Every structure is written in C-alpha cells, then in structure tokens.
Amino acid sequence: MATRTRKTGTRTGKTSSKPRRSSRGSSAPVAAPTLPGISAAERRKLAQEEARWRAESDLRTLQQAEEIRRDPGRLKRAATMAAEEMKALQAVRAIRRGR
C-alpha cells in the first residue's frame, strides 16, 4: 500500500509525511495497543496475537466466500440481497443530496 501525503496548509507548499487515513478496510499491520503498565515486549506479543487472529478470521471469510460461489442458489440469494442493499443506500444518498 502506497503512502500518500497531504499538504499541511503552509505557504511553503511542503507536505506532511503522515499517511492519510482511508475509510476502506486495510491489511496494514495493527499498531500495538497502548495499555498502561504493559511492557513493549508484551505489547508486541499482543500485536502478533491480534495479527494471527485477523489472519485466521480472514481465512474463514475467504473459505465462506468460496462456498457461496460454488452454490448457485446461495450466490443468487446473496446477489439479490446486495441489489436490495444498493437500492437502500441510493435512497439514503438521494435524501442526503436533497432530492
């Protein structure tokens, strides 16, 4: 994932080295939680455990997606549900735009 920079608003036109936050999901490593009274080594271990849990969860998600793709009935029902959700989201967008 490429890091994008943003202008800081100064007159010199320099950019910040801080990456932008995305509203989309990211597979970037999770920062170790900042918990008081926990050593850096323990925080690293927690971060590693979190990364492993996330990978296991992602694997289960991918397995479920493959099961759905292989079952035509399930895939059709999921596509129908997705179309209904899109209609609902478009209705919300229209309300937000004042239509």
User: Do 19 and 4 meet the contact criterion of CB atoms below 8 Å apart?
Assistant: yes
Instruction: Supply the pTM of this predicted model.
Output: 0.52
Residue 38 one-letter amino acid: I
Task: Kindly state whether residue 89 falls inside one of the protein's structural domains.
Answer: yes
Q: Distance (Å, rounded) from C-alpha 75 to C-alpha 66?
A: 10
Task: Kindly state whether residue 27 falls inside one of the protein's structural domains.
Answer: no
What is the per-residue pLDDT across 50-76, written as a single tens digit (0 to 9) for each? Answer: 999 999 999 999 999 999 999 999 999
Domain total of the chain = 1
pLDDT of residue 72: 97
Task: Kindly state whether residue 21 falls inside one of the protein's structural domains.
Answer: no
State which residues form the domain around 92: 40-96
Task: Kindly state whether residue 91 falls inside one of the protein's structural domains.
Answer: yes
Task: Kindly state whether residue 68 falls inside one of the protein's structural domains.
Answer: yes
In tens digits, what is the pLDDT along the chain, a chain of 99 residues? 455 555 555 455 555 555 555 555 556 666 655 778 889 999 999 999 999 999 999 999 999 999 999 999 999 999 999 999 999 999 999 998 876
pLDDT of residue 59: 98
Alpha carbon separation from 78 to 33, 44, 53, 57, 85 (Å, rounded): 36, 39, 26, 20, 10
Taking residue 43's Cβ as centre, other Cβ atoms within 10 Å add up to 15
Alpha carbon separation from 15 to 22, 61, 63 (Å, rounded): 18, 38, 42
Task: Kindly state whether residue 53 falls inside one of the protein's structural domains.
Answer: yes
pLDDT of residue 18: 55
Task: Kindly state whether residue 33 falls inside one of the protein's structural domains.
Answer: no
Q: Distance (Å, rounded) from C-alpha 31 to C-alpha 51?
A: 10
Task: Kindly state whether residue 31 falls inside one of the protein's structural domains.
Answer: no
